[in-house]
Structure 1
Amino acid sequence: MTNTNTRIKRLEKLAADLKQDHLCTQKELAILHGVSERTIARDIQLLRDQGVPIDADRGRGGGVRVDRNWGVGRLNLSYIEAVELMISMAIAEQMGSPLFLTNLAAIKRQLEASLSPDKRRKVSGLKSRILIGETASTDVQGGFTMTDLTVQQQLQQGFLERTSLRINYRSENGDVTQREIEPHYLLLNYPIWYVLAYDHLRDAPRTFRCDRILSTTSTTNQFKLLDKTYFQQILEWHKSAK
């Protein structure tokens, strides 16, 4: 099962790489993905069999890429890309943005229709784990900093795959502690993101500001999703404190 998941992820990444404007040789793609050229050749053929129109330039220095004319009318989003787009739209909708949302319902219907029933259920489940609160107070926003990109990526991975993370966390008073957390829910008090997590160190539910997470290490320790009511006291506090 692990090998299958690895290949699926590689195919999704390969499809995204092939959508770039420049040509990539099979050798370059093999190095980029850490596999042999023969494996990349098989993956490219599999994508072709799935209907992805991949052009090949066999001349000197040639390469492969998705047909340039395969445009917006035939979006070929990977599962992760579709998840990110649908969650972003859900966030914009919940925040009540007054601009550029006129056609949002139609876009969502088309995007959902492009997913299999199983993937639609997974996306729906993920959206229910992202909570939108009030805009953070001026005092809270005063200490806001951008979250490190690597931290963002590993946090997202742990959230999507329901695997715990080992983190170094800086508290409000500057103390740094090491924790292992289970990222069950994400809360946005714009522009501050919080993780609602089970904290193994405290053996209790805790909330962590994403911009105070200094570093993360992924684990393979999967967790069972806790009901939102488990974090109700924390949510009530955030609602009052913002």
Structure 2
Amino acid sequence: MTRTNSYSRLKRLELLAAQLKQEGFCTIRDLAEAHQVSDRTIARDLQLMRDEQGLPIETDRGRGGGIRIARNWGVGRLSLSYAEAVDLLISIAVAEQMQSPLFLGNLASIRRQLIASFSSDRRERVERLKSRILIGYTASATVQNTMGAADLRAIQPLHQGFLDQTAIRIRYKAESGKTTAREIEAHYLVLNYPVWYVLAFDKLRAACRVFRCDRILAANATETPFDIRPLTAFEPPEGGYYALK
């Protein structure tokens, strides 16, 4: 419990620093509500940020005032967890593979820095993950017209199960509108822009199936591990695809 609480506080301090830099003056009450802690906890956090981290936190006691980090100060080095760094690296790889003409100038440099921050075993793991993320053709107009917003509360367990190679339980709404409960193994992700699919082994059907991510209504993680099946076991949702480089 102590380790979890320490990690939660460190993460909260990082978020507070970014928030106080990006936004205008914030009140302690607003910050406490945003982070779901007490006013006293936020006050202690701010004192630690001043005394231990040396952050120049300004206070405006006037009407409508509050606190913020001095405007001429930068947040400093970006601190990412391994999972966050992997997400960013894969997002860069997706953008590069799609050859978007905008905002690509510094992506190669950012990618190199991220890769350099990984140990050799983690670099190998990232390469294996990238081989399981596939880019296909742009989704048809028919598919795009039926696309809904993905529920992030459902996508997060899917994301974790994909990274950890553990099965997840989902509620899925089929094209017909029928909702079913499944337990799936997320082997591959396919982007047929702008629609994401998961190529999965459906344990209920004992067969490989394709699920549209925006049709996953709910998901819960399990601790049941699985081994990756060959891509040839799955049918692509639309046309062909290729792995990230």
TM-score (structure 2 length as normaliser) = 0.71
The CA RMSD over aligned residues, in Å, is: 3.9
Please give the per-residue CA displacement for 1:2-45, whole angstroms capped at 9, x wherever unaligned. 44554454344434433332222333322222223343344445
Equivalent residue number for residue 97 of structure 1: 100
Equivalent residue number for residue 177 of structure 2: 174
Whole-angstrom CA distance in 1 between matches of 2:220 and 2:92: 27
Secondary structure of 2:147's counterpart equals coil
Please give the per-residue CA displacement for 1:120-149, whole angstroms capped at 9, x wherever unaligned. 747666545432223334554453333245
Look up the equivalent residue of 2:32 and give its one-letter code. Answer: A
Most deviating of 165-174 and 9-18 = 9-18
Equivalent residue number for residue 232 of structure 2: 232
Please give the per-residue CA displacement for 1:81-118, whole angstroms capped at 9, x wherever unaligned. 655443321101122334442432123234555x5649
Equivalent residue number for residue 64 of structure 1: 67
Q: Structure 1: give runs of 5+ residues left out of the alignment.
A: none
Most deviating of 85-94 and 197-206 = 197-206
Look up the equivalent residue of 1:35 and give its one-letter code. Answer: V
User: Over alpha carbons, which structure has the higher Rg?
Assistant: 2
Note if contact 1:19-1:66 (Cα within 8 Å) is conserved in structure 2: yes
Note if contact 1:133-1:188 (Cα within 8 Å) is conserved in structure 2: yes
Equivalent residue number for residue 188 of structure 2: 185
Most deviating of 44-53 and 182-191 = 44-53
Whole-angstrom CA distance in 1 between matches of 2:223 and 2:113: 32
The 1:8–1:104 alpha-carbon spacing in structure 2 relative to 1, beyond 3 Å, is same
Q: Structure 2: give runs of 5+ residues left out of the alignment.
A: none
Most deviating of 9-18 and 121-130 = 121-130
Whole-angstrom CA distance in 1 between matches of 2:119 and 2:70: 28
Whole-angstrom CA distance in 1 between matches of 2:94 and 2:178: 32
The 1:48–1:167 alpha-carbon spacing in structure 2 relative to 1, beyond 3 Å, is farther
Whether 1:88 aligns to 2:91 is: yes
Between Structure 1 and Structure 2, the one with more helix by share is: 1
Look up the equivalent residue of 2:232 and give its one-letter code. Answer: Q
Equivalent residue number for residue 32 of structure 1: 34
Note if contact 2:172-2:179 (Cα within 8 Å) is conserved in structure 1: yes
Look up the equivalent residue of 2:228 and give its one-letter code. Answer: D
Note if contact 2:139-2:195 (Cα within 8 Å) is conserved in structure 1: yes
